[in-house]
Amino acid sequence: MTERLYIFDTTLRDGEQSPGASMNTGEKLRLAYQLEKLGVDVIEAGFPAASVGDFEAVSRIAEKMKTTQVAALARTSKADIDRAWEAISHGVKPRIHTFIATSDIHMEYKLGMNREQVIEKTIEGVRYARSFTDNVEFSAEDASRSDRDFLCKVFEAAIEAGATTVNVPDTVGYAIPEEFGELIKYIIARTPNIGKAVVSVHCHNDLGLATANTVAAICAGARQAEVTINGIGERAGNTSLEEVVMSIHTRPNFIPVNTNIKTENIHPTSRLVSMITGIIVQPNKAIVGANAFAHEAGIHQDGMLKNPMTYEIMKPETIGLSQSKLILGKHSGRHALRSHLKDMGYDLSDEELNQVFKRFKEIADKKKHVMDEDLEVIVTEGILRTAETFKLDYLNVVSGTTVYPMASVRLEINGRIVQGAGYGNGPIDSAYNTIAKLTGARSELLRFTVSALTGGTDAQGEVTVRLRENGLIALGRGSDPDIITASAKAYINGLNRLEYLKTNPVNASDGL
């Protein structure tokens, strides 16, 4: 009989620490609903002590989740733990997740503590967290570079103080699978009271080994995996939920555990995260990339036609992809739209549906068919968008081989209409120059990407930009059948996200 593996999703906490991936409260709540639908056991909703915005988001999520545990991250200080408990105390089964670094390099240069002091701080923090709830997780930051025997002593002390989950983070993505698996076995064998706690792992992808390390740890006895959707996270990212879950699903003979994940919701969840954060999933990304179930080579296509299992080790339907799609057009009504959106994972209120339906009709008048990808963009732009300081009211661009590119732009800035015109090296450059002049933006454009959401010349173009201003980095997204308009929308969305970050800074200085 297989054992249970708990899935701890930290997309809303560690995943949000990806540069430019900051989410507002509405976006976080929408994603939390989808994570609960996906079947994750624990949602780490944020770091309440980091900012007012993070506290509010964690509190709202804890209030709304019906079955999923909500965890709040806290250092081993009483102030952090108080703030965490205040945010999650009204949740279904709230979890306080407290941590302290245990590697020599972190203790010396970051904490300025010796080993005895770290153990004392661990006991103090866990014991204080336990005074609020019996659902306490303790993490030894930078565990993979810590002295093994000291690590066992820290975990023994944490469990004795009341921790019910102990987490072994590969904080800087340094471990190798065989080494990490051996570390988990060592901890289980050398920590006397380890049977009183669930052993968890949290791996980063700096060497591209996060999923491999996590699988090795599971095979060695870990029974909680800390993951993110699409593997997003600071630096090179975190262990990918979809990769771990589908590895277990595909190779149960080698990974003898089971999860509560409803795999058919993996792809819709992946798309939602990409839409909210603006971080595009690379086409060759395992499980959820656009090419993951695409076959171009003639030999592969021939094999697929004879038996799909010749070149596919899992069925696309298993993760929520389907060969048949309901295609909506300009004659489709509200009922059909609501039903299809619900199938896609969007259960909208009447007011939200009205907003989406209006935009749907506008797109349907321009396109023959409205695809799922179009609908996702409509929902994102209509319901999940960051509060708008700047809104595009009018755009006209003149460009060609015999004219100097010029853009005329009218914006609404905090309810006030402003307009102007400007030149540039091309239609997009002239539009951006004009928008920057009207908004007073001083941001630097770090990245500009364009992609088509669907096939055909009438496809919506999706533009993603990365902006940087005074150390803050924000991603902006925009979509429209007109690529110039999509570019302007993306730039303005990025400027709005920068404005949000200025008032809601994300504290990424501490993490696992």
Read off the pLDDT of residues 294-322 as tens digits, 9 standing for 90 and up: 644 555 545 545 666 665 677 777 878 76
Q: Which residues contact 133 (CB under 8 A, 6 or more apart)?
A: 85, 94, 95, 96
Return the pLDDT at 278: 76
475 three-class SS: strand
- Ranges of each domain in the chain: 3-277, 317-382, 390-503
Provide the b/e sequence for 133-158 (b: ≥16 CB within 10 Å). bebbbbbbbbbbbbeeebbbbbbbbb
What is the number of helices (H) and of strands (E) in the chain?
16, 16
- According to the model, what pLDDT value does residue 264 have? 93
CA distances to 291, 375, 384, 490 from 372, rounded to whole Å, are 17, 5, 17, 20
Phi-psi region of 341 (alpha: psi -120 to 50; beta: other; left: phi over 0): alpha
Give, as one character, the DSSP assignment of residue 318.
Answer: G
pLDDT in tens, 199-247: 999 999 999 999 999 999 999 999 999 999 999 999 999 999 999 999 9
Would you say 257 and 3 are in contact if contact means Cβ atoms under 8 Å apart? yes
pLDDT value for 481: 86
Instruction: Determine the pLDDT at residue 86.
Output: 98
Please tell me what DSSP assigns to residue 255.
Answer: S
pLDDT at 255: 95
pLDDT confidence bin for 509, thresholds 50/70/90: very low
- The residue-averaged pLDDT of 109-130 equals 98
Let me know: does 297 contact 43? Beta carbons within 8 Å. Answer: no
Residue 327 in this model has a pLDDT that exceeds 80: no
Which homologous superfamily does the CATH classification assign to the domain defined by 3-277?
Answer: Aldolase class I (3.20.20.70)
User: What local confidence, expressed as pLDDT, does residue 345 receive?
Assistant: 62
- What's the pLDDT at 507? 46
- Among the ranges 71-85, 280-294, 308-322, 442-456, which has the highest mean pLDDT value? 71-85
**What integer is the mean pLDDT of 399-418?**
93
Pairing between β-strand 461-469 and β-strand 198-203 as defined by DSSP bridges: unpaired
Take residue 341 and report the two structure tokens written for it.
Answer: 């959106």
Rounded Cα distance, 154 and 139, in Å? 10
Angle at 340 between CA 335 and CA 341, to 5 degrees: 100
Q: Identify the CATH homologous superfamily for domain 390-503.
A: Alpha-isopropylmalate synthase LeuA, regulatory domain (3.30.160.270)
- Residues forming a β-bridge with 257: 3
Residue 462 and residue 478: Cα distance in Å, rounded?
A: 6
Q: What are phi and psi of 397, to 5 degrees?
A: -125, 135
What is the chain's percent helix, strand, coil content, to nearest 5? Answer: 45, 20, 35
pLDDT tier for residue 457 given thresholds of 50, 70 and 90: low
Query: CA torsion sign, 220 to 221 to 227 to 233?
Result: negative
The position carrying tokens 């993979």 is: 144
Per the CB < 8 A criterion, the answer to whether 125 and 75 are in contact is yes
Q: What is the mean pLDDT of residues 444-456?
A: 80
Mean pLDDT, residues 57-69 taken together: 96
Cα–Cα distance measured from residue 320 to residue 34, given in angstroms and rounded to the nearest whole number: 13
How is residue 229 written in tokens?
């959707």
Question: Of 485, 443, 428, 429, whose CA–CA distance to 460 is shortest?
Answer: 485
CA-based diameter of the chain, in Å? Answer: 80
Round the CA-based radius of gyration of the chain to a whole number and report it. Answer: 24
Average pLDDT, the chain: 88
Rounded to the nearest angstrom, the gap between the alpha carbon of residue 45 and the centroid of all alpha carbons in its chain is 11
User: How far, rounded to the nearest angstrom, does the alpha carbon of residue 125 sit from its chain's CA centroid?
Assistant: 28
* pLDDT tens-digit series, residues 251-300: 999 999 999 999 999 998 998 898 888 788 888 898 888 777 664 455 55
How far is it, in rounded angstroms, from Cα 322 to Cα 318? 9
- Candidates 395, 390, 402, 450; CA nearest to 422 is 395
- Of residues 488, 445, 449, the one with CA closest to residue 279: 449
Give me the amino acid identity at 62. A
Cβ burial, residue 219 (10 Å; 0-12/13-18/19+): middle
| Pairing outcome for strands 6-9 and 224-227 | parallel
